[in-house]
Structure 1
């Protein structure tokens, strides 16, 4: 899956006409975050030893590990999209009020090869907000722009996973109870959904993490099972390619 990098406070350009001063669910995103999430590496702290991945000039008031996916479960004021209750696996158990998002703040796990981190869904995109077949199903992204990008990643995720825009990643939804302590829980505050920071209080500093802590996950839901099946297929395909390459070398 192709990723692109975006950031809170991003202004429009010819290649990206959508500003990120507001999110799909937060009209005061920059202010609530605490400022401009400067993507320039020289203006950021990226330290695995201390678990700090943030702008240098302020302490974020929201989690700097955030993503955008191309679906918004609400439309207009006070109503959900018609398919939302049917396609979102956790919709019924959250019992939301009409028009209150159940997507904002959901946790995901993102893989760059064997390295991974956790982040929260905080905006919609890239390019579209109705691609539920990709987000909750097993189809490829609708968009063909930016290499058919299907997920936007924050600068903190980019730095933690050592990524560049246009890189291929894998991702999946995870329950809040399966998210271990780490840089993704070091900064932030409770938000719309109670599952935001299930194991930390607002702005609480988590212990400095070991790289790639392993979580004990609860029984996966349908979307997670589809993502796991997809990841298994990717690994099997990679292993087959490696075996074929090794066989060809031996024959030569």
Structure 2
């Protein structure tokens, strides 16, 4: 008996040590399984001109809804529409025009306009080329960049130029408004037509030349849930929130107009 006790001791000690460890592991699994609710991640496809304000909006929404995380994919509205038609996994859509949204009626819930915007002419800081209005964009020595005509801001730009009978030969046609702004801010173009809000976001990097209201175009931003969303309830909550007073304050402070 005295000789067998020492041989049994390690096994007994091992059992004593393993049991608390197993219990701790079981406790961890229970905590993770029965603790805080797992966060729902919403993917929102949004027009490029909403980039800055929607980052603020997403943070504000998550603060109010800690069980939801909002991620954004920003691009030109026509690119977003293509993604929706191809079945890209997303929960909500916000475009910079009603035409694009209307073309996706089979894929979306009922849209509602959350904000509006207007156009302005962006130039290099100090406006060295002395651009005074839309008519000056036709000057042969001026490098003008516009968004492509299938992009909402490109379509709005064509509309205002055609109404004023201004013929412009752009040095490039860009896929979204941020690309137009980038060309001007980097000195690759002398001028471009962008939204007021994008020019405001690039303050110091570009100057602006106002387009009078009677020569301007109004861009409407509709938001809608996507029927393919796996989080229909949460997506509907977010879209409703975009029309709330808090969201509207953020949009107005960024230079957008009331819907």
Q: What's the TM-score, normalizing by structure 1?
A: 0.23
Relative to total residues, which structure has the larger helix share, 1 or 2? 2
Larger radius of gyration: 2
Tell me: higher relative CO, structure 1 or 2? Use CA pairs within 8 A at least 6 residues apart: 2
Relative to total residues, which structure has the larger strand share, 1 or 2? 2
